[in-house]
Amino acid sequence: MSTLESGMMSAWRIKNGALVFETVPIPSVPPGYALVEVKSSSLTLGEVLYLPYMQEGRIPGLEAAGVVVRAAEGVGPTIGSRVSAMTAFSGGGWGQYVALPAEQLGTLPNNVSWVDAGGLANAGLTALHAVRLGGALLGATVLVTGVTGTIGRYAAQLARLAGAQVSGTVRSPDRLEAVAELGLKEVVVSNTATGRYDLVIDTLGGAALTHAMERVSPGGRRGLSHWGRPDIRTAFGAGDRSLELGKQSTWRTTPDGQCGRRSHSRRQSRPGPNLPRRTCLRWTPRTSRNRTRGQLARNRQTGPGLQNHRHQGQDRVACRLGTPTRPSRSVL
């Protein structure tokens, strides 16, 4: 009898505050959902940090790649399709099977390995979003911090494919050789980059973020994409103004070199149980603590829903990065 026929599967899940490997029932498949046999899943920083606070019985795993074994009727990939998906904070990627809405699944080209695909949905889409914030990049100069990380590697390669001249930073000199295959114009140790760039994509936060802000040319853009807690007062000169940054946000530099209003606004998807909300806020010189609280309250009430929008680009990311030499941090 196969695992699927038995109705049971292996999975990592939270039990008595610890991560244990045990046998659990295969998840049910509601209408409009597909059952995916997981081939690889990633270790994301944000999720690992929150493991001690997850609810009892939860199966972690914010993204997964695998094969569809039960397809949704009349919608989405068919049985046998190779797919990648984020689990929309419901988790499940660290199980042998996971049930996901068919509209969240992105199909994978055959030349994308399971190791690469395991980190594609989260890191790949995050990088794609950051690169797109720069608009048309043909001939533009781009700086990506942390190019040895998964998001940084994807962002650097996507920017190059868009026609940009890409430079990157690494943490120490001994990491320079590790990114030589990316074909970047220049790779330097963090906080030593010089010159000005049309787009800066920061994946690190902290001191690296502060230095990166100084490298943006007048009229350029800064893309932030990380779970870190940057020194926002130093980086943005926010003084005593109330300000919170979400996981992804963009700021435009004014011609006089000052940081201006955020160039776009988006609400972040509703987190699952025990995950605190991280909200992107619009910043102007008159932002106050009361306005900040008010926007947080409105976001809780409206229940933002960008899940489907964020997942629709997975297949495009996979096609662009679909070579067997793209390393990714995944666990099989």
Report how far Cα 129 is from the mean position of its chain's Cα atoms. Answer: 9
Separation CA 97–CA 95 (nearest Å): 5
Burial of 51 (0-12, 13-18, 19+ CB in 10 A): middle
Q: Is residue 283 in a domain?
A: yes
Q: 17 φ, ψ to 5°?
A: 80, 5
Listed range (39-53, 78-92, 105-119, 283-297) with the worst mean pLDDT:
283-297
Tokens standing for residue 99: 């049930």
Q: Is residue 321 in a domain?
A: no
Three-class secondary structure of residue 275 per DSSP: coil
Q: Are residues 183 and 70 in the same domain?
A: no
Which stretches within 84-229 are classed as H helix?
114-117, 125-132, 150-161, 206-213
Q: Are residues 179 and 85 in the same domain?
A: no
Q: Are residues 89 and 216 in the same domain?
A: no
Residue 236 has pLDDT above 90, yes or no: no
Question: Nearest Cα to 225, choosing from 144, 160, 161?
Answer: 144
Tokens standing for residue 319: 């096609």
- Name every residue whose Cβ is closer than 8 Å to that of residue 220 and which is 6 or more positions away in sequence: 196, 197, 198, 199, 200, 252, 253
End-to-end CA distance of the chain: 23
**Cβ proximity of 55 and 274 under 8 Å:** yes
Q: Which residue has the tokens 């870190």?
A: 228
Q: Is residue 322 in a domain?
A: no
DSSP per-residue letters across 27-71: PP--TTEEEEEEEEEE--HHHHHHGGGSPTT----SEEEEEEEEP
Domain that holds residue 145: 136-298
Listed range (13-27, 196-210, 221-235) with the worst mean pLDDT:
221-235
Tokens standing for residue 286: 């008159």
Three-class secondary structure of residue 139 per DSSP: coil
Q: Is residue 62 in a domain?
A: yes
Which tops the pLDDT comparison, 13 or 264?
13
Q: Choose the final residue of a domain: 61, 90, 108.
A: 108
Q: Are residues 184 and 98 in the same domain?
A: no
Q: Give the sign of the dihedral formed by CA 18, CA 19, CA 20, CA 22.
A: positive
pLDDT at 295: 40
Q: Is residue 191 in a domain?
A: yes
Residue 195 has pLDDT above 90, yes or no: no
**Cβ proximity of 95 and 24 under 8 Å:** yes
Q: Are residues 262 and 167 in the same domain?
A: yes
Q: How many domains does the chain have?
A: 2
Q: Are residues 172 and 259 in the same domain?
A: yes
Q: Are residues 193 and 285 in the same domain?
A: yes
Residue 330 has pLDDT above 80, yes or no: no
Listed range (8-12, 114-118, 285-289) with the worst mean pLDDT:
285-289
DSSP per-residue letters across 143-179: EES-TTSHHHHHHHHHHHHTT-EEEEEESSGGGTGGG
Q: Is residue 220 in a domain?
A: yes
CATH code of 231's domain: 3.40.50.720
Q: Is residue 29 in a domain?
A: yes
Distances in Å between the Cα of 119 and the Cα atoms of 113, 116, 197, 212, 276 are 11, 6, 28, 25, 23
Q: Are residues 163 and 293 in the same domain?
A: yes
Looking at the DSSP bridge assignments, the partners of residue 64 are 41, 85
Q: Is residue 58 in a domain?
A: yes
* β pairing state of 8-15 and 18-25: antiparallel
Q: 132 φ, ψ to 5°?
A: -65, -25
Q: Choose the final residue of a domain: 67, 89, 108.
A: 108
Predicted confidence (pLDDT) per residue in 71-118, tens digit = 999 899 999 999 999 987 789 999 999 999 999 999 999 999 999 899
Q: Are residues 77 and 197 in the same domain?
A: no
Looking at the DSSP bridge assignments, the partners of residue 24 are 9
Q: Are residues 140 and 267 in the same domain?
A: yes
Position 287 confidence tier, pLDDT thresholds 50, 70, 90: very low
Separation CA 167–CA 145 (nearest Å): 9
Listed range (9-13, 146-150, 243-247) with the worst mean pLDDT:
243-247
Separation CA 60–CA 51 (nearest Å): 8
CATH code of 95's domain: 3.90.180.10
Q: Are residues 287 and 250 in the same domain?
A: yes
Q: Are residues 140 and 49 in the same domain?
A: no
